Structures are given as C-alpha cells and as structure tokens.
Amino acid sequence: MGRLSALSLGEATKVVAIGEPDLISQLLLEAKELFGDQLAINRSYPHFLEFGHPQATKAQALAWLGQRLGIEPEAMLAIGDGENDLDMIEFAGVGVAMANAPAAIQAAADFVTASNTEDGVALALEKFFRL
C-alpha cells in the first residue's frame, strides 16, 4: 500500500476504498491521522471506506432538507445500518438502527429494528408512523 498523501483526487466528490477488513481498518486509522477534519472519512461496510467533503454528510443533508422544508430535527426519523449513518442517526429526533448495524450504531440509536433481510425498515415505519 502506498502513502495516502500521494493520492491526487482532482475534482472527485467521493472516493471509496475497497479491501479486506483488516486493511480497511489500517487505512481508516492512517487516513484520520493524515486528513483529520479535512475529509469526512467513514466505513460504510467492513470492506468499504468512504472519503468525502466534510460537509457532505448524511446529517448535513438532513439539516439542509429540514431547513428547506421547515422541519425541525426533533421531527425527523433516520434509519441506518452502517458507520456512515452515525451522524444522521444522532442528528434526527429519532434515530433507528437496523439489527445488522455495528454495535456502535445500535448503541447510538433510540431504537433498533429488525435487520435488512427481516423488513426492518418497514417495521420501523409501521411503528413510528402507525402505518
């Protein structure tokens, strides 16, 4: 593996590194040390590491959308299953984690629903919107 500092991104809006989970863990540590808050660095799956603009996060998207539509964060529900969903789950008034989400995501959530393969999103929507 070469040095991250040698990577030229040009006009890229997002970069995804794919590799073995141990290598991705190593890359995550190196990237956070090298780039700090200059980039949003998130692990979306054990094999995926995402690099993007620090203000292009899911929480930022919810904030922007809420402002445009006049919806306060307390009135929002966010559902996620990956480490890249953490800021969104913490931002929304109700954060829901899927049962297949990493433990840290489940711990941050207000509610844990069933897994992706067990219709967790539908179950959460039924619960919170009384569908």
Residue 48 amino acid letter:
F
Q: How far apart are CA 50 and CA 94, in angstroms?
A: 25
Residues 40 and 95 in one domain: no
Q: Do 124 and 71 fall into the same domain?
A: yes
Q: Bridge-partner residues for 42, per DSSP?
A: 50
Pairwise CA distance, residues 82 & 75, whole Å: 22
Where in the sequence is the domain holding 122, given as residue range(s)? 58-129
If one counts the domains in the chain, the total is 2
In angstroms, the first-to-last Cα distance of the chain is 50
Q: Do 83 and 48 sit in the same domain of this protein?
A: no
Residue 98 amino acid letter: M
Do residues 42 and 70 share a domain?
Answer: no
Contact criterion met (CB below 8 Å) for 120 and 98: yes
Contact at 8 Å (CB) between 49 and 24?
Answer: yes
Give the CATH number of the domain where residue 92 resides.
Answer: 3.40.50.1000
**Per-residue pLDDT, 76:** 98
What is the reported pLDDT for 1? 52
Which residues of the chain, if any, have pLDDT below 50?
none
Q: Same domain, yes or no, for 93 and 74?
A: yes
pLDDT of residue 56: 87
Which of 52, 71, 92 is the C-terminal boundary of a domain?
Answer: 52
Specify whether 18 is located in the same domain as 41. Answer: yes
- 70/114 same-domain check: yes
pLDDT at 7: 63
Query: Does 66 share its domain with 117?
Result: yes
44 shares its domain with 90: no
- CATH code: domain of residue 12: 3.30.1240.10
